[in-house]
């Protein structure tokens, strides 16, 4: 009798303890209610964009007006948001937006544009929406844009110039970075697969190979490189903005195109990242900065953009490191109730205070939830969504923050907020059949690409 009670007592205590972190925390979460709320927030922001910024690149949510990147608009928010709208099931709105884009978007403009941003936002957006709708007009626009961007690669090294003129093919600005050189193959490669013309794949792949060839002896890349000479002008190495998605695309291009060169480049790079940038500290696992030639630690900073890496680690199959890093990201978020652009993980202090409505930490929670089915990532998603509503929500849309410390807002809502932040948040809570996670590769702007070839 005594023995039985001890066993029962032990069992009750054990069950309570194991329930404490997961079940109790998530007991209040109803995924379908949150998914619907995210969907409503998307439509609220989209309505504000239509009301104040229709036909322009983006919404200024405080002054209730618009901004364009250049002297003319390329409907950045509309193209970026279209596949989110489709996935959320806003059918009529998506049809009319698609029709508007097909009829009015023109790349025949005498304007210098950023090759990287036009590739990930517009080329990526057009390609994914084409795959979701089979509207040939979108593929024609994507091909036209791809053709107009190609002159950017006509440099002595094959790595692209930063800006290219869409009408004349003239180029400018030769100091670039790994992200802007190495985050192009997914889109250009897909364009090749969908049009049957291999030139897009080959040109973007050559640029990627040239960038990889410029790595240091210890297999790290720096932050700035002169694409006319291949010489590094800044040797700071990290996984943050200006480098980040170069690594992401090495792995994703291996998976999407079964490109073994990309696989080798990814494996080699990951070893160097693990050896020189990963940092296991009393505050958790982080990835800091080091000099690309010596591997010597420079600073212990991490930021909102770096939070894409758990998602990449999930794709690479390293769930353990992905979970550890996402837990660290959550600490960065919780320090001020929302994440800063840059954070020092040894002092746990903010280094650069803005929050630009970035998606990466949510993207990683989504990948981790798909990979583990662990409800703690839903709980994280709920925290992120609550903070967004508390600090960034305006009467009609959402606004960036000048500072996560003061929570002062700034007058901008970037197109990726509707392409990425709200999409990943929605997909995290929506039923898995909304999008088959294993059948797509997201480009770095969250545009899902299907391997239809």
Question: Residues in the site for ligand DMJ, rule: CB under 6 A?
Answer: 245, 305, 358-360, 416, 420, 444-445
Tokens coding 234? 């800044």
Alpha helices in 360-419 (DSSP H): 360-372, 376-387, 416
> Would you call 267 a catalytic residue per the annotation?
no
Considering the candidates 83, 306, 341, 420, report the single residue annotated as catalytic: 341
Rounded to a whole number of angstroms, the minimum distance from the CB of residue 8 to ligand DMJ is: 52
* Residue number, 97 or 421, with CB nearest to ligand DMJ: 421
> Catalytic annotation on 341?
yes
C-alpha dist (Å) from residue 5 to 10, 74, 197:
8, 72, 74
Residue of 57, 135, 244, 445 marked catalytic: 244
Closest C-alpha to 53, from 397, 328, 298: 397
Look at residues 44, 120, 35 and name the one whose alpha carbon lies nearest to residue 392: 44
* Residue 422 and residue 90 in contact, taking contact as beta carbons nearer than 8 Å: no
Q: State the minimum distance, in angstroms, from the CB of residue 18 to ligand DMJ.
A: 36
Alpha carbon distance 369, 363 (integer Å): 10
Cβ at position 415, least distance to ligand DMJ in Å: 8
Q: Is 445 a catalytic residue?
A: no
Closest separation in Å from C-beta 297 to ligand DMJ: 24
Cβ closer to ligand DMJ: 216 or 330? 330
Tokens of 183: 């985050």
Q: How far apart are CA 367 and CA 252, in angstroms?
A: 14
Q: What is the nearest approach in angstroms of ligand DMJ to the Cβ of residue 132?
A: 19
| 232 versus 416: smaller Cβ distance to ligand DMJ | 416
- Find the catalytic residue in 117, 248, 279, 382: 117
Here the tokens at position 352 are 């650069």
The nearest distance, CB 293 to ligand DMJ, in angstroms, is 26
Q: How many Å apart are CA 404 and CA 395, to the nearest integer?
A: 19
| CA 78/CA 56 separation, integer angstroms | 9
Tell me the closest approach of the beta carbon of residue 356 to ligand DMJ, in angstroms. 6
Residue of 360, 382, 400, 420 marked active site: 360
DSSP code of residue 109: -
Separation of alpha carbons 204 and 190, rounded Å: 11
What residues are paired with 387 via a beta bridge?
Answer: none
**Least gap, CB of 22 to ligand DMJ (angstroms):** 29
Closer residue to ligand DMJ (CB): 236 or 244: 244
Task: Indicate the length of the chain as a whole number.
Answer: 453
The distance of closest approach from Cβ of residue 357 to ligand DMJ in the complex, given in angstroms and rounded to an integer, is 8
Residues pairing with 67 in the sheet:
58
CB-CB neighbours of 25 under 10 Å? 16
| Backbone torsion region of residue 348, taken as left when φ is above 0, otherwise alpha when ψ lies between -120 and 50, otherwise beta | left
Active-site residue flag, 408: no
Place of tokens 């979970």: 323
Q: Which residues pair with 290 in a beta bridge?
A: 237, 297
Nearest to 323 by CA among 279, 377, 363, 269: 377
- Give the span between the Cα atoms of 216 and 245, in whole angstroms: 18
How far is the C-alpha of 33 from the C-alpha of 51, rounded, in Å? 27
Of the pair 127, 376, the CB lying nearest ligand DMJ is at 127
Q: Round to whole Å and give the CA distance between 36 and 33.
A: 5
The conformation of residue 278, written as its DSSP 8-state character, comes to E
Active site residues: 117, 244, 341, 360
């Amino acid at each position: 009798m005594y023995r039985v009670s001890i066993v029962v007592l032990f069992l009750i205590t054990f069950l309570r303890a194991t329930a404490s972190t997961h079940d109790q925390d998530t007991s209040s979460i109803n995924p379908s209610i949150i998914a619907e709320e995210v969907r409503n927030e998307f439509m609220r922001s989209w309505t504000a964009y239509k009301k104040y910024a229709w036909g322009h690149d983006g919404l200024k949510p405080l002054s209730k007006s618009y901004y364009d990147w250049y002297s003319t608009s390329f409907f950045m928010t509309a193209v970026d948001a279209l596949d989110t709208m489709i996935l959320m099931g806003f059918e009529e709105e998506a049809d009319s937006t698609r029709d508007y884009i097909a009829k009015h978007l023109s790349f025949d403009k005498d304007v210098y544009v950023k090759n990287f941003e036009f590739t990930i936002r517009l080329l990526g957006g057009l390609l994914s929406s084409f795959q979701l709708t089979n509207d040939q007009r979108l593929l024609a626009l994507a091909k036209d844009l791809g053709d107009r961007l190609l002159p950017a690669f006509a440099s002595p090294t094959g790595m692209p110039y930063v800006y290219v003129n869409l009408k004349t093919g003239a180029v400018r600005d030769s100091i670039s970075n790994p992200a802007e050189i190495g985050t192009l193959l997914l889109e250009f490669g897909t364009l090749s697969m969908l049009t049957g013309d291999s030139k897009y794949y080959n040109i973007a792949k050559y640029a990627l190979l040239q960038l990889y060839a410029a790595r240091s002896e210890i297999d790290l890349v720096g932050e700035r490189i002169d694409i006319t000479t291949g010489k590094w002008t800044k040797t700071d190495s990290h996984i943050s903005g200006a480098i980040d998605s170069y690594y992401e695309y090495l792995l994703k291009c291996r998976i999407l195109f079964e490109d073994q060169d990309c696989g080798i480049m990814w494996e080699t790079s990951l070893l160097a990242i693990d050896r020189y940038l990963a940092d296991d500290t009393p505050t958790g696992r982080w990835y800091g900065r080091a000099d690309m030639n010596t591997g010597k630690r420079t600073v212990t900073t991490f930021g909102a953009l770096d939070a894409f890496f758990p998602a990449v680690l999930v794709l690479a199959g390293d769930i353990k490191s992905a979970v550890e890093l996402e837990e660290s990201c959550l600490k960065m978020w919780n320090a001020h109730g929302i994440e800063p652009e840059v954070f020092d993980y040894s002092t746990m202090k903010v280094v650069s205070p803005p929050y630009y409505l970035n998606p990466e930490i949510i993207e990683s929670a989504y990948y981790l939830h798909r990979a583990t089915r662990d409800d703690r990532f839903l709980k994280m998603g709920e925290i992120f969504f609550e903070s967004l509503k508390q600090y960034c929500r305006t009467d009609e849309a959402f606004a960036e923050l000048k500072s996560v410390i003061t929570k002062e807002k700034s007058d901008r809502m970037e197109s990726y907020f509707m392409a990425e932040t709200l999409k990943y948040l929605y997909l995290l809570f929506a039923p898995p059949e909304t999008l088959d996670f294993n059948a797509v590769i997201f480009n770095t702007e969250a545009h899902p690409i299907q391997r239809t070839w």
